[in-house]
Amino acid sequence: MNFAPLPSVAAAAVPADGFVLDVRENDEWAAGHVEGALHIPMSDFVARFGELTEAAEDGQRVHVMCRVGGRSAQVTQYLVQQGLDAVNVDGGMLAWDGAGRPMVTDNGSPAFVL
């Protein structure tokens, strides 16, 4: 079988107003995340898929994020198979943090990548 390469983008290239889907677990999200991102842990993803289709505007590119890019690659592949414009964020939150991109927490404490 021949698989198309998975679409991906560098963390530094995600638009400031881009739609980000974070598929990390709750403790990772709580430590620090992209402001405005939609959080659906990979373990809940198929059951909560409808939340993504409601949140993303028609045709809007979905930037899928995890800690380093493994889980998000799997979710990106699934989304592409569903016909969505999805890209994996190379290097995940570690690359996002490394690129100096902003992160937030829900409780106002300093954000970090768990």
Residue 53, amino acid: T
Catalytic residue chosen out of the listed positions 40, 42, 66, 113: 66
Respond yes or no: is residue 6 known to be catalytic: no
Residue 26 · residue 104 · CB < 8 Å: no
Residue 63 · residue 87 · CB < 8 Å: yes
C-beta atoms surrounding 62 within 10 Å: 23
Residue 22 · residue 29 · CB < 8 Å: yes
Give the active site residues.
66
